[in-house]
Amino acid sequence: MFKISLQINTMRKLLPFCFLILGFYLLKAQETFPVNGSHDKRPKKYAFVNATIVAKAGQRAEKGTLLVNDKLIEAVNGDQKVPPGYITIDLEGKYIYPSLIDAFSTYGVPESKEGRSFGRAPQVLTSTKNGAYGWNEAIRPETRAVDAFTGDTKEAEQLKKIGFGAVQTVLEDGIARGSSALVSLLGAEDNEAVLVADVGAHYSFDKGSAKTSYPSSLMGSIALLRQTYYDAQWYGQQQEEYNMSLEAFNKWQNLPQFFEVNDVLDVLRADKIAKEFSKQYVIKTGGNDYQRIKEIKATGASLIVPLNFPKAYDVDDPYEADKLSLAQLKHWELAPANPSFLEKAAVPFALTASGLDNIRSFWPNLRKAIQFGLSEETALRSLTEIPAQLLGVSDKIGTLEKGKLANFIITSDSLFKEGNIIYENWIQGEKFIANNVSTGDIRGEYATAIEGYGDAKLVIGGKSGKYEAHISTLKDTAQTKVNINVDGDLLTMSFNPKGTKSSFRISAYVTNEKPVQLKGDLSKMDGDVSPWSATYSGAYVAKPKKQVKNKSLDLGKVIYPFTAFGHEESPTATTVLLKNATVWTNESAGILQGADVLLVDGKIKGVGKGLSAAGAKVIDATGKHVTAGIIDEHSHIAISRGINEGTQSVTSEVRIADIINSEDVNIYRQLAGGVTTSHILHGSANAIGGQSQLIKLRWGKAPEELKFGGSDGFIKFALGENVKQSNWGEAAKIRFPQTRMGVEQVYVDAFTRAKEYKVNINKKDGKTRRDLELDALVEILDKKRFITCHSYVQSEINMLMHVADSLGFKINTFTHILEGYKLADRMAARSIAGATFADWWAYKMEVQEAIPYNAYLMEKQGVVTAINSDDAEMARRLNQEAAKVIKYGGLSEEEAWKLVTLNPAKMLHVDNRVGSIKVGKDADVVVWSDNPLSIYAKAEKTFVDGVKYWDGEEDEKVRSSQKKEKARLIAKLIEEKGKGSTTQKAVEKPTIVYHCETLLEENNDDFNHNQ
Amino acid sequence: MRTILKYISNITVLVTFIITAKAQPTIYPAKPQTGSISIKGATIHVGNGQIISNGTLVFEKGKITYVGDGNGAPSTAETIDAAGKHLYPGFIAPVTNLGLVEIEAVRATVDNTEVGDNNAHVRALIAYNTDSKVINTLRSNGIILAQVTPEGGLITGQSSVVQLDAWNWEDAAYKKDDAIHVNWPTVKYARFGNTNSEEQKERVIKERDVLNDLLTDAKAYCSVDKPVVFNARLEAFRNVFGGLKKVMVHVDKKNDMIAAVQFFKRHAIKPVIVGGADAHLVSSFLKENNIPVIIHQAHSLPAKDDDDVNLPYKQAKVLTDAGILVAYGMDGFWQQRNLPFMAGTAAAFGLEKEKALSTITLNTAKILGIDKTTGSLEQGKDANLFISSGDALDMKGNKIEKAFIVGRDINLNNLHKQLFERYEYKYGQK
């Protein structure tokens, strides 16, 4: 640390770590540095007078005075008398604002390098860093931005030109990223530039340059961060080992906590972690917060919001334009309104220049945000006071007040006005010229005489500093453009009068008189030079600009979810009476003909003939079939960024619950296939995978609202080729196990550890480290969490049943279970359920004896049997897959139908709520056009909790209105390009479809097909 | 096997094979038909859109000799009473790696993708493994012909049409080397790797040049009967220019389809489009040029988020309505047993049932150039047909009781039925 010399303001309360205290001193630089030659210390006292001073948003004083003494503000708008010894600067007509603060920047620190490779790299199980660090390279809280920081003059100038005075600089690498520094944009003088050495602690979901294989998925990142909090708690209470990473992690807990994400759902995810550990993150978002504004508001978190608005798409080629999704088009239109949405929702936020392709688009984009509804006051606050507050440095910067740093900008006009020029940006009392302030405004009309041209009128217009001029003779009004260049007092002009071959060049200066005169020499074609002058004769009158009618504020509505088929308004449950249908009850009543089903308040209220209900919406279902909604025991839809955390053999700490993605179009597609409940499973890459999540397909609801609610927790186990990594190539020969023999020992070891852990943690002596991986296994032992195990061949299935018997836990379900038919009797004896495919086989060695009679044989042996999908496509027609068991084996239709409804409900422990048409159960109901087991059957209406989320007829209307919406947006894009906006090419972004074996999200393209 | 047992027939031969057929190796290819057989009382789905209720079909020495209401039908030694049942032309699976791949994940069993970009000369037929365990699981769902096709590269090689009851590929060949397959150069969507579409466009231009040069060279080469220097790749095109071999171009995107058709037209070749994901967007162009399309299976997800969720189910109808000759193709090999349900799905989404049937029978035969001998139940064609107890396009009704390939009464047992039987035995269910 540095020695301190100057301290401003009162010191903050003493913090427990001296390290931090040092950080809050203002560090005067160069004090200790030797000087080459004589010292040259200047008083640096300035008085800025006659300016319009906006000391902070909403506080504006005309003709104000700002006194600056060295680095600090001495007075603002106080006694107008300038004390002796001050240099007076007259800012008549100009404005002073606090310099802007960027709360999220990488100024002066190296950019992180991505560590991941797209191919199959060898597995790295623990950190490759030498030293007493933590085990995972993605947890690197020991890194400090200040250690890597060095001022970059060029980058600083770019930022200063657009008004920034100080930034929080962040090392954007890893999940726990260590501390950031608050630095001013002085340029090269690092010691002076560092304002607060450790200003914030930073986190993300991105492992960055970490070489450690774990985590490979978003849920793994979340789990790792969560576990790190517990590890750090434990670390703080023990004396046995030193760990630089955890040491630093704990040290930074008293700093403001920042979390960087790139998508609105990640904002919600980050905030959830914060709440779990009684933290409050300031979240740097991706700029699409408006898409779930209600949930964003509910987090209570402050945000740092980018101005990274997508460029207009080039849609001249309709074929290219077809690649664009409704979501992409709508986001293009609505992104500039994001700050305004946040303001209206009263979400506190700072704005950042980070994430811009080009720093020069900062002002155009900021003005766009204002045009799209952001108030100027909030805009200013979000770039000054709020970032200062979020960084805990309101005592230093953010407003113009006595004692604060002299960080301010001088502008030609009101800051946000189009055409405003930032002249100077003062940082810590040091002047930086952003744009030359000309001696004075020389715009106006001048009378002059030019030999060889005549008596003339010279008009200088344009903007101060960016003049435009033209000249005309008094006889003739034809205007000739004059090239004009003003540099301080000096100016040059040249022109070629139209229709002549002559040219004139003038070199002149601006007099100090008022009104000004221009005096100098005129050089003619023949080389003669003669004196020249022009006298001010009147003010410049700008031609009123044609006001471009602003159509861009006719914005489309936000839809939920923000993708095709999203709704502007969430559909609600109504009382519905389905009349005169064939009702497949799945109960002892069997299949009822000509029966009615009444749905009230999200529940089934009545089943039988001749029902009636006041106010009910009556749907004539004559000729239709009504069933309970389909339940998919094995699904991988509606998740974000990776279905497998297959980097370790045991990852029971990861949770699908953390990564539910409400914006997946497959939810809607599956509703169209009659699915109402899906069990979202971790993949099958490891023996003990992650915790699963049961969801209902409540299309449009936020992730938390998709969760089934009140159901038992499950976890995915897996056996077979994936677990032993036999199809992953040479790179995957490191992680244990590589054989089915090894798989058994993974289970034995895990549950043995879990049992020991259970004993120790129950002592509650605080000595046992909370281990989320083992917590989940203890839940299994305590029958609070249930296993669904991906499985193929009979040997391994038998093995796991034996392991479970001997270690005292129970398998709830074998999923996939393609050789279940070979030991269905043993499964039945242990009351283990089986969920399988109807007819998949031959895709790998372990399915060589997979047969389509499997479900039939299991069912007949008394195993509770289901048909599952593991596939977003197949899930749309699980009714057909169930029907195959009629073909293969000869199950009755009633039994076959239960394979995708009541039976999965039983194995998921939710048959008290769903799975049959029974009074009191949830109104998850499908109306089919035909016998649902027939290939000719179509789901016409699908209700979840009595809310109709799918309706074939309404779907047509939705498509037609969304087609119109796209056409509107395309027309707008064409108009935008016509205006000269820069455009980008259309890039298709289809939804990723996950399967059991999808390893990394990166590997999506390789693993789309065939399990 | 249960379905077979239920089958009422006057043929005693059937009983004997049930007893003997206990293992895959003993599922023998059937002997040639020597006599004649009548099938009476069935609903005959001709394959060309027609349907004959309570009809009669007669076949002799492998050929259909009569189809109709029974009036004037020749008398036969054997008669199968198929009252209440359905009679269909055998289904045809185009563009499949059946018999070329046994287990997808086991490299040693994968024989469908040769290395290199130009493999016009490689032939799928000679790698077709008639002993694959998969084949019999297709037959028992009504698929009795397949076009076995290589994959990969720019020019993938040559397919052949095989019948699915043979001792070896020589017997299996139904139409040898029927088509050369080309993967039309395109800008591929990639989430990672080379996502730069501009760079990809350069590759596409180069690949199209390669194709252009190849076809130009091939044309010149084939204009001479016996070229001085033999070139296997160019030689492969001889029958293409002679009109005996087709070019099947695998292409999905709208603009690519137009480019591909125009390209081949310039070389005097009328291609078949395979894939055609966007075919419904260029249907009038395809119709104008009379280009048939083997579309991708109905059981697919829409390509784009914004697409009608049921678009893959509806595509066959849209194209059929536009007057385009459409057949269904499917991914993979073991999956082909679900081919009938693609047609069923198309019917569920508006295509008339008998027209839906054509997408896996007569239309396919026309596209593969085998419609003179198969694809429909018409006099003079090969007796490639089967009896199903119910609607064979619906999994509820698809119960194949008897099937014939060129009149040969084929064994409908398979590995899955055998394993089923084995475990019914274990559990005493039998």
Chain A residues in contact with B255 (beta carbon < 8 A): 319
The answer to whether the Cβ–Cβ distance between B104 and A843 falls below 8 Å is yes
3-state secondary structure of B274: strand
Domains within chain A, CATH numbers bracketed? 100-115+122-398 (3.20.20.140), 444-538 (2.40.128.120), 571-628+915-954 (2.30.40.10), 630-914 (3.20.20.140)
CB-closest option in B102, B334, B420 to A853:
B420
3-state secondary structure of A177: strand
CB-closest option in A721, A873, A890 to B301:
A873
How far B245 CA sits from the closest chain A CA (Å)? Answer: 31
Chain A residues in contact with B356 (beta carbon < 8 A): none
- Interface probe with B: pick from A724, A871, A936, most Cβ of B within 10 Å: A936
pLDDT of res. A218:
96
d(CA A682, CA A665): 20
Instruction: Give the amino acid at A504.
Output: F
Which 823-852 residues of chain A touch chain B by CB within 8 A?
824-825, 839-845, 848-849, 851-852
Closest-CA residue of B relative to A566 is B306
- Interface probe with A: pick from B305, B353, B417, most Cβ of A within 10 Å: B305
Chain B residues in contact with A877 (beta carbon < 8 A): 299, 345
Q: How far is CA A828 from CA A794, A860, A861, in A?
A: 14, 10, 7
Confidence of residue A120 (pLDDT cuts 50, 70, 90): low
The 10s digit of each residue's pLDDT in A10-54 is 333 333 343 443 433 344 446 788 888 888 888 899 999 999 999
d(CA B216, CA B146): 31
- Interface probe with A: pick from B6, B188, B396, most Cβ of A within 10 Å: B396
CB-closest option in A842, A851, A874 to B134:
A842
How far A6 CA sits from the closest chain B CA (Å)? Answer: 52
CB-closest option in B105, B308, B337 to A959:
B308
The 10s digit of each residue's pLDDT in A154-198 is 999 999 999 999 999 999 999 999 999 999 999 878 899 999 999
DSSP secondary structure string, A204-220?
ES--TT-------SHHH
How far B1 CA sits from the closest chain A CA (Å)? Answer: 10
The burial of B232, by beta-carbon neighbours within 10 Å (0-12 exposed, 13-18 middle, 19 or more buried), is given as: exposed
pLDDT of res. A8:
34
Confidence of residue A467 (pLDDT cuts 50, 70, 90): confident
Query: Tokens at residue A400, please?
Result: 């113009």
The 10s digit of each residue's pLDDT in A388-429 is 999 999 999 999 999 999 999 999 899 999 889 999 999 999
Chain A residues in contact with B412 (beta carbon < 8 A): none
Residues forming a β-bridge with A66: A48, A76
- Kindly provide the ipTM of the predicted complex, given to two decimals: 0.94
3-state secondary structure of A878: helix
How far B306 CA sits from the closest chain A CA (Å)? Answer: 5
The answer to whether the Cβ–Cβ distance between A880 and B337 falls below 8 Å is no
Cβ–Cβ pairs < 8 A, chains A and B: 151
Query: Tokens at residue A549, please?
Result: 């009618």
The answer to whether the Cβ–Cβ distance between B306 and A966 falls below 8 Å is yes
Is the CB of residue A265 less than 8 Å from the CB of residue A661? yes
pLDDT of res. B61:
96
pLDDT of res. A486:
84
pLDDT of res. B15:
40
CB-closest option in A860, A934, A1002 to B394:
A934
The answer to whether the Cβ–Cβ distance between A959 and B302 falls below 8 Å is no
The 10s digit of each residue's pLDDT in A80-104 is 689 999 999 999 889 999 999 999 9
Confidence of residue A112 (pLDDT cuts 50, 70, 90): confident
Where helices occur in B151-196 by DSSP H, the ranges are 169-172
How far A937 CA sits from the closest chain B CA (Å)? Answer: 7
Query: Tokens at residue A23, please?
Result: 């950080």
pLDDT of res. A439:
55
The more confident residue out of A402 and A515 is A402
As a residue count, chain B comes to 430
pLDDT of res. B165:
98
In terms of Cα–Cα distance, which of A474, A19, A415 is closest to A247? A19
Lowest mean pLDDT among A298-307, A436-445, B408-417: A436-445
In terms of Cα–Cα distance, which of B181, B184, B183, B185 is closest to B204? B185
pLDDT of res. A479:
83
The 10s digit of each residue's pLDDT in A69-82 is 999 999 998 666 89
3-state secondary structure of A306: strand
Mean pLDDT of A678-684: 97
pLDDT of res. B3:
40
pLDDT of res. A549:
52
Q: Which helix (H) or strand (E) holds B315?
A: helix B311-321
Query: Tokens at residue A799, please?
Result: 């093995």
Confidence of residue A466 (pLDDT cuts 50, 70, 90): confident
The answer to whether the Cβ–Cβ distance between B334 and A843 falls below 8 Å is yes
Chain A residues in contact with B100 (beta carbon < 8 A): none
Mean pLDDT of A725-744: 91
Chain A residues in contact with B394 (beta carbon < 8 A): 883, 934-936
Residues of chain B with pLDDT under 50: 1-21
The more confident residue out of A589 and A464 is A589
CB-closest option in B104, B197, B309 to A842:
B104
Tell which phi-psi region holds residue A638, choosing left (phi > 0), alpha (psi between -120 and 50) or beta.
left
Domains within chain B, CATH numbers bracketed? 2-89+409-426 (2.30.40), 91-373 (3.20.20.140)
Pairing between strand A59-69 and A45-56?
Answer: antiparallel
Mean pLDDT of A642-664: 96
Number of H helices, E strands in chain A: 25, 42
The answer to whether the Cβ–Cβ distance between A1005 and B306 falls below 8 Å is no
The answer to whether the Cβ–Cβ distance between B299 and A874 falls below 8 Å is yes
Mean pLDDT of A628-635: 98
Confidence of residue A800 (pLDDT cuts 50, 70, 90): very high
The answer to whether the Cβ–Cβ distance between A842 and B103 falls below 8 Å is yes
Chain A residues in contact with B415 (beta carbon < 8 A): 849, 851
CB-closest option in A668, A934, A993 to B396:
A934
Which 317-336 residues of chain A touch chain B by CB within 8 A?
319, 322-323, 325-327
In terms of Cα–Cα distance, which of A893, A886, A719, A735 is closest to A819? A719
Predicted confidence (pLDDT) at residue A1004 exceeds the cutoff of 50 = no
How far B334 CA sits from the closest chain A CA (Å)? Answer: 7
The answer to whether the Cβ–Cβ distance between B305 and A325 falls below 8 Å is yes
The answer to whether the Cβ–Cβ distance between B301 and A872 falls below 8 Å is yes
The answer to whether A476 faces chain B, any CB pair under 8 Å, is no
The answer to whether the Cβ–Cβ distance between B337 and A889 falls below 8 Å is no
The more confident residue out of B408 and A459 is B408
DSSP secondary structure string, A256-282?
-EEEE-SSHHHHHHHHHHHHHTT--EE
Confidence of residue A1002 (pLDDT cuts 50, 70, 90): very low
pLDDT of res. A1010:
29
d(CA A445, CA A483): 16
The answer to whether the Cβ–Cβ distance between A883 and B193 falls below 8 Å is no
CB-closest option in A849, A883, A890 to B419:
A849
Cβ within 8 Å of residue A765, ≥6 positions away: none
pLDDT of res. A15:
37
Is the CB of residue A943 less than 8 Å from the CB of residue A949? yes
pLDDT of res. A362:
97
The answer to whether the Cβ–Cβ distance between A985 and B197 falls below 8 Å is yes
d(CA A455, CA A625): 95
The answer to whether the Cβ–Cβ distance between B106 and A844 falls below 8 Å is yes
Closest-CA residue of B relative to A1007 is B105
pLDDT of res. A1008:
31
In terms of Cα–Cα distance, which of A918, A842, A684 is closest to B335? A842
Where helices occur in B108-188 by DSSP H, the ranges are 135-139, 169-172
Q: Which one-letter DSSP state was computed for residue A563?
A: S
The burial of B213, by beta-carbon neighbours within 10 Å (0-12 exposed, 13-18 middle, 19 or more buried), is given as: exposed
Which 991-1010 residues of chain A touch chain B by CB within 8 A?
991-993, 1001-1002, 1004-1005, 1009-1010
Give chain A's radius of gyration (CA, Å): 35
